[in-house]
Structure 1
Amino acid sequence: MTSQDLLLRILNKLFLGLAAAGIFFGVMGRSRAAERPNIVLILADDLGYGDVSCYGATKVQTPNIDKVAESGLRFLDAHSSSATCTPSRYALLTGEYPWRKKGTGILPGDANLIIKPGSTTLPEMLRKGGYKTGAVGKWHLGLGDGEIDWNTEIKPGPLEIGFDYSFIMPATADRVPCVFVENHRVVDLDAKDPIQVSFKEKVGSDPTGQEHPELLKMRPSHGHDMTIVNGISRIGYMSGGKSARWVDEELAQTLTKQAVGFIEKNKDGPFFLYFATHDIHVPRVPNARFAGKSGMGPRGDVILQFDWTVGEIVKTLRQLKLEDNTILIVTSDNGPVVDDGYQDQAREKLNGHRPAGPLRGGKYSAFEGGTRVPFILSWPGHVKSGVSDALICQIDFLASFAQLTGCRLNQADGPDSLNILPAFVGDSKMGRDYVVEHAFVLALRKGNQKFIEPGKGPKFSKPTATETGIDPDGLFYDLTDDIGETNNLSIQVSEKAKQYQAELEKLRKEGRSRP
């Protein structure tokens, strides 16, 4: 052996040792970034902590998600940034807490884009780093600037905030317009049948659920009684665009086909796919292949449908031999909700199923069930399979993926996004020191201790009866032996509660939390 060979062998051993020790990520300037793995983020809608069998569900089985968990890392304390959809998506893409910015609440279907074009976002950062970026599925972050004309170019939108390609639902399936927008235009629109949309007054002559309930195949339980599309009344009024309107039973198949197509087109990579599915959101209208299969009604059926979607993405990655060079993440935008506007027997057919598992609350709630969500990350050959109880948050994708890919962030970028890459890939058992949970009020988690700030409003949101976590005196829990948040300690730890409140106020005033 020559002296040069010996030196190379010593350097190689030193390099591997640093990687195994976790130093590789910081000291070596993130050398693994040269690989630039593909990133596929599958974001479910309203999928609860207890809705997945690898998280303990027994009444419904999710074998495809379970297989991802078997090959990857399953997180037990992962959080979305908000207990509702628009704000959690805003934070995921921007790295900024949504409560810092006005207008990030749940948006109507004709809202304008709430992310400023030109700002640093997760897709924009990755695009500058050489990635092809795609957005498929539910958007709900607004489109355009001013009154939207759905019959011409619709922008700004996903393409103006970092995506190279987009095929989206403008808002949600329970809101008009019930059409797909590909890049800047409505798909399959007939110019002779222009679209009109209003959330203030009726437009056109299409029947509404309020006027003609006999035309409905799914009746609303509250609201959701305006224009009827595909036998389902929605929020808002719409006329025209008959050839462009989606069929609810085919939503999952259509979106999955587009996601698969993006992967196939960009298989030579690197690429980033933000695949925001519609399931498990209302209206829950499963395809015939899943209808009635769960034994839990439409809500259970669309959980099976979402699991199928995950399976199709995994199958595509495997067939294209991309599995080993792709980070696949399966998670949810917020916690679960059962009755959310339609009479689909979701509550009656739970049959003992607990959508939030052992957690209290759900969508809209400051309790753990509002933001603690399923989160699985798989990267075969790079991330060891197992379970992690590290405290992590989706808001940290921006800073963590910047470290992973060698991209740079300016000081003003992602003001609340932290680099917790070692936790994401399982090299560290430590994630965040704290996380801010956002619903009608804010909550501060530090380790296993949690403070929900005082608030005004109903303790239960009506008519869904989801616990909001609102209390005029505030709430304090120790989750170590009380994950279900049943024992309020606010009186016993009043001084600590005041300290946590002060920390929340400081976070509000400082305008950022990233060092």
Structure 2
Amino acid sequence: MNSMRSEKVKGKEMGLYKRFLITSVIGMVVCSGAAAETPNVILIMADDLGYGDISCYGAKLISTPNIDKLARQGLRSENYYSAGSVCTPTRYSVLTGRYPFRKKEITTDQWKGYALIESERTTLANLFKRQGYKTAAVGKWHLGYGSEGVPDWGGVLKPGPNELGFDYHWGLPRNHNDNIRGYVENHRLHGLDPDTPFKTASDTERVQGLLQERLDDEVNAVLTGKVVDFIRANQENPFFVYFTPTIAHTHITPNVRFRGTSKAGQYGDFIQELDHYVGEIMNLLDELKLTDNTLIIFTSDNGGQLNDHSSAGKGLKLADESGDVALKSRTAKKDARKMGHKTNLDWREGKASPYQGGFRLPFIVRWPGRVDAGTTSAKLINSADYLATCADLLELDFPEPYGEDSFSFVELLTGEQVDQPRTNVALHSGKARCYVEGDWKVIDFNYGRKPKKKVELYNLRNDPAELKNLAKSNPERLKAMQDKLRQISKQGRSR
């Protein structure tokens, strides 16, 4: 009897133990699923970085091992377009999911520097914040501050990124070569001198009213440091980081550690510095054991600039002046081209152009265990598509009436099919408006800031360099493309 009772007790204990194991396994699966639904997201958008500036896209004189590693461990797009061929229009599209030509300040010269995005509009950051994410915008902003007119740089800069869903903001108000010469932290310029009124720099005077002016060769190290600090501080929470370094925008001023490291002169050195900072963030994720649950997206805002800007090398303040960095910054892009570097590969023209060199950009996504490693995609993607994609990723309803031109590419991330895939795209340049559908592209110069009665039509499959204008030989195709562009422009939304 005692033996039988003992066997029954053992049987009950074994049953309890099995139930415990099953419950534990289920719990682990549920926890794993919950983690997968709230991945950390880091969107790295470089500045004026061309399709040919990254070695995994074809650069021969510049080495980008960390960005290449992202591509090997994830997916590389071969059909990504920015919505604009210069900085502000694309940045507007990224955060709003709206084509930039719908904002009149972008299509005219009326913008004075106030906030371009309305505070009530649903933005990319809003989506993440609603789901409990910590959010940060670090780097070049260039979307304005304040409600009207020229921002009061010595006062409160509100509304700004904080009103658009970002918990923290540290950045350059405009460009690497702006005349504000400082960093904005949340609602104020950092390091204002209480005893001196703020005054922007000019061709003859340095900025006034700042305790410390930006050092041009340390800007991107500072920005990356802020990203690292934010991730460390929020590693226990899901986070979204919108990181916008200033490389490769004028001024081309690589940190002393990277000077002379590339075969494309100072321009190549600058891009190799960018690659180093991408690697720094990747290493941090490894250290914190966050890699597997972090989605990284790497891209640029527009195509590379072919020529050096008129402001290049002017008004610099450097931490280290060795290697003739100031002198070389004046002709860095021209010098790289002479050395054989092709910033946009064989795409026609570059930044500010309505041709492919202005819009066709690198785009890489890595999400271990979700995005297949070492893959490529020919799916059409546009910079306006992040809003719809992240809404799907977070399992949120589409934020009507906003996101007017945003189409989800979430199937590249999760494999889930979408109801409305992107099949065409409208593009903005100050010179013209473009429409791409399938193999065809129309460029209509009637939409430029200085309208011209001129239109061009190209078959991108047969003529990717846009050398043969088919407008006269294919009038029916031309009319159909122009009609679709006109319809998208007038309707106010394309989805």
TM > 0.5 between the two?
A: yes
* Structure 1 counterpart of 2:106, from 72, 90, 104: 104
Change (3 A) 1:387 1:37: same
Conserved? CA contact 2:45–2:299, under 8 Å? yes
**Structure 2 CA distance for aligned equivalents of residues 143 and 329 of structure 1:** 26
Task: Mark the structure with the bigger radius of gyration.
Answer: 2
1:13-37 CA deviation, whole Å, 9 max, x = no partner? xxx9xxxxxxxxxxxxxx8896211
1:370 paired residue among 322, 336, 358: 358
> Which of 348, 365, 370 is the equivalent residue of 1:382?
370
Q: Give the Cα–Cα distance (whole angstroms) in 1 for the partners of residues 94 and 154 of structure 2.
A: 30
- Secondary structure in structure 2 of the residue aligned to 1:248: coil
Q: Which of 405, 408, 416 pairs up with 2:405?
A: 416
Counterpart of 1:473 in structure 2: which amino acid?
A: K
Seen in structure 2, the aligned counterparts of structure 1 residues 500 and 154 have a Cα distance that, compared at 3 Å, is: same
Q: Which residue of 1 aligns with 2:316?
A: none
- Compared with structure 1, are the counterparts of its residues 389 and 227 closer, same or farther at alpha carbon in structure 2 (3 Å cutoff)? farther
For 1:299-448, list aligned pairs within 5 A: 299-339=267-307, 340-341=309-310, 342=312, 343-350=330-337, 351-385=339-373, 386-424=375-413, 432-439=422-429, 440-448=431-439
Q: Once the 2 structures are TM-superposed, how far is the Cα of residue 151 of structure 1 from its aligned partner?
A: 2.7
Residue 467 of structure 2 corresponds to residue 486 of structure 1? yes
1:59 has 2:54 as partner: no
TM-score (norm 1): 0.81
SS in 1 for 2:152: coil
Out of 486, 495, 501, the position equivalent to 2:476 is: 495
Aligned-partner SS, 1:443: strand
Higher mean C-alpha displacement, 81-90 vs 436-445: 436-445
Give 1:190's match in structure 2, choosing from 193, 203, 214. Answer: 193
2:75 is equivalent to residue 73 of structure 1:
yes
190 and 456 in structure 1: CA distance in 2 versus 1, 3 angstrom threshold:
closer
Whole-angstrom distance in 2 between the partners of 1:60 and 1:451: 33
Q: Work out the CA distance in 1 between the residues paired with 2:155 and 2:44.
A: 30
SS state at 2:365 partner: strand
Quote the residue 1:257 is aligned against: 225
Instruction: Report SS of the residue matched to 2:286.
Output: helix
Query: 1:232 corresponds to which residue?
Result: none
- In structure 2, distance between residues paired with 1:131 and 1:382: 20
1:378-418 CA distance string (max 9 Å, x none):
00011002111111112111011101101223321111111
Q: In structure 1, what is the Cα distance between the partners aligned to 2:493 and 2:169? A: 30
CA distance change for structure 1 residues 122 and 480 in 2, over 3 Å: closer, same or farther?
same
C-alpha distance in 1 between matches for 2:218 and 2:197: 23
Match of 1:93 in 2: 95
User: Cα RMSD (Å) of the superposition?
Assistant: 2.7
SS in 2 for 1:347: helix
Q: Residue by residue, what CA displacement relative to the aligned partner does 1:334-355 show, whole Å, maximum 9, x if unpaired?
A: 0000322222242133211111
Q: Per-residue displacement from partner, 1:3-56 (whole Å, max 9, x unpaired)?
A: xx9xxx9xx9xxx9xxxxxxxxxxxxxx88962111000000000001100001
Offset at residue 58 of structure 1 (A): 0.5
Helix, strand or coil at the partner of 2:441: strand
Instruction: Specify the code of the residue in structure 1 equivalent to 2:153.
Output: W
1:46 and 1:281 in contact (8 A); partners too: yes
2:157 pairs with one of 149, 154, 158 = 154
Q: How far apart, CA to CA, are the structure 2 residues paired with 1:149 and 1:472?
A: 41
Q: Which amino acid aligns with 1:183?
A: N
Q: Tell me how far apart the structure 2 counterparts of residues 402 and 454 of structure 1 sit (CA, whole Å).
A: 35
2:454 corresponds to: 473
Structure 1: 4+ residue segments shifted above 3 A? 31-34, 105-110, 423-431, 454-459, 470-473
* Match in the other structure for 2:486: 505
Give me the whole-angstrom Cα distance separating, in 2, the residues matched to 1:428 and 1:182: 40
Contact 1:330–1:376, Cα closer than 8 Å, also in 2: yes
Aligned to 2:245: 277
Q: Secondary structure at the match of 2:53?
A: coil
Is 1:180 equivalent to 2:149 in the alignment? no
For the Cα contact (< 8 Å) 2:35–2:293, is it kept in 1? Answer: no
Which AA in structure 2 matches 1:59?
Answer: L
Partner SS state of residue 387, structure 1: strand
Say whether the 8 Å CA contact 1:337–1:362 is kept in structure 2: yes
Aligned length: 444
User: Which residue number in structure 2 is paired with residue 234 of structure 1?
Assistant: none
CA 503–85 in structure 1, closer or farther in 2 if over 3 Å, else same: same
> Aligned partners of 1:297, 1:62: CA distance in 2, in Å?
15
- Indicate the percent of aligned positions where both proteins have the same amino acid: 40
**More displaced, 322-331 or 284-293?**
284-293
Counterpart contact for 1:362–1:370, Cα < 8 Å: yes
The 1:109–1:182 alpha-carbon spacing in structure 2 relative to 1, beyond 3 Å, is farther
Within 5 Å, give how 1:125-274 maps onto structure 2: 125-146=127-148, 147-197=150-200, 226-227=203-204, 229=206, 238-241=207-210, 243-274=211-242
Match of 2:325 in 1: none
Deviations 1:78-123 (A, max 9, x none): 1111001001000100011110111136999961111011210000
Match of residue 24 from structure 1: none
- Unpaired segments of 5 or more residues in structure 1? 17-30, 198-205, 209-225, 230-237, 460-469
Cα drift, residue 513 of structure 1: 1.1
